[in-house]
């Protein structure tokens, strides 16, 4: 359920933005990653990244008053499916890159956000961090979304309260600012076959820059062809 007025959805950029430097490099890197992920999927006979996880139903409360975030900047709440996972799938005793995937129902379809364990500093927010515990630090989107007023990053950070994360946003190197909270109703348990797509299911009112879409499109497409697996999304 969604409370409040949502903004129009834009999946692939913002008005007047059609190209960013480095798009060709991103396309080449995406193709290379796609081939690597497909090979891993074939070898493991499972998802190449985040092969196992645990899901929980959650509620995201949005504070409102943040036009930079599209629909995420409008006050209200979202009923969310949250999936915690380890990127490489290493045993729990070993550090791994932690992932947090979120899905809720938006205008005309699902909205997906993928977050990974990183730092939160001006540069460390772009560097993946391996941890033993999923709640051992912050998660960020790593790559920016195209917001109505320019690029924005999203983050989720433990608050110290049980089953609660603070949701924050920032410009590429700006300070983090709160826009909501995420509370899951029970401890994450069994996994789900749902597959998240942050490009085609970008949150309403936000978009993906051409270079980030190219960087992600091939890995998602080729790894799914190599290991289709069960899917509910």
pLDDT by residue (tens digit) across 169-224?
999 999 999 999 999 988 877 776 677 888 889 999 999 888 777 766 655 554 45
Q: What is the pLDDT of residue 218?
A: 54
Higher pLDDT, 187 or 76: 76
**Average per-residue pLDDT for the chain:** 76
Choice between 43 and 135, residue whose per-residue pLDDT is larger: 135
User: How far apart, in whole angstroms, are the C-alpha atoms of residue 23 and residue 18?
Assistant: 10
The answer to whether residues 167 and 159 touch, using CB atoms and an 8 Å cutoff, is no
Bridge partners, 181 (sequence order) = 61, 166
pTM as predicted: 0.75
> According to the model, what pLDDT value does residue 215 have?
67
Q: At what angle do helices 210-226 and 23-44 cross, to 10 degrees?
A: 20
Report, in angstroms and rounded to the nearest whole number, the Rg of the chain calculated over CA atoms. Answer: 17
Is the per-residue pLDDT at 112 higher than 80?
yes
pLDDT value of position 150: 95
User: What is the reported pLDDT for 54?
Assistant: 87
**pLDDT per residue over 15-70, tens digit each?**
333 333 333 433 333 333 333 333 333 344 445 454 678 889 999 999 999 999 99
Position with higher pLDDT, 211 vs 161: 161
Q: How many whole angstroms separate alpha carbon 36 and alpha carbon 86?
A: 18
Specify the CATH number for 53-208; select among 2.130.10.10, 3.30.2130.10, 2.40.128.520, 2.40.180.10: 2.40.180.10
Question: Which residues, at least 6 apart from 205, have a Cβ–Cβ distance to it below 8 Å?
Answer: 6, 7, 8, 9, 10, 69, 70, 71, 72, 73, 147, 148
Three-state SS at 194: coil
The CA angle 209-121-72, to the nearest 5 degrees, is 45
pLDDT digits (tens, 9 = 90+) for 165-180: 999 999 999 999 999 9
Angle CA 197–98–222, to nearest 5? 35
- Per domain, the residue ranges of the chain are 53-208
Percent of the chain with pLDDT over 90: 45
């Amino acid at each position: 359920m969604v409370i409040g007025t949502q903004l129009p959805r834009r999946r692939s950029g913002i008005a007047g933005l059609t190209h960013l430097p480095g798009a060709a490099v991103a396309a080449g890197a995406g193709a290379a990653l796609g081939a690597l992920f497909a090979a891993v999927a074939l070898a493991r006979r499972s998802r190449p990244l985040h092969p196992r996880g645990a899901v929980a139903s959650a509620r995201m409360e949005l504070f409102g008053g943040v036009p930079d975030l599209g629909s995420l900047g409008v006050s209200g709440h979202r009923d969310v499916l949250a999936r915690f996972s380890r990127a490489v799938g290493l045993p729990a005793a070993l550090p791994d890159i932690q992932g947090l995937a979120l899905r809720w129902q938006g205008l005309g379809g699902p909205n997906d956000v993928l977050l990974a364990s990183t730092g939160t500093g001006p540069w460390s927010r772009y560097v993946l961090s391996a941890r033993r515990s999923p709640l051992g630090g912050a998660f960020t989107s790593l790559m920016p979304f195209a917001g109505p007023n320019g690029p924005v990053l999203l983050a989720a950070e433990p608050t110290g309260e049980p089953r609660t994360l603070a949701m924050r946003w920032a410009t590429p190197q700006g300070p983090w600012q709160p826009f909501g909270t995420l509370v899951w109703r029970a401890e994450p348990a069994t996994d789900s076959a749902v597959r998240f797509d942050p490009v085609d299911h970008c949150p309403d009112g936000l978009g993906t820059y051409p270079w980030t879409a190219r960087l992600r499109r091939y890995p998602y497409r080729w790894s799914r062809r190599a290991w289709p697996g069960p899917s509910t999304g």
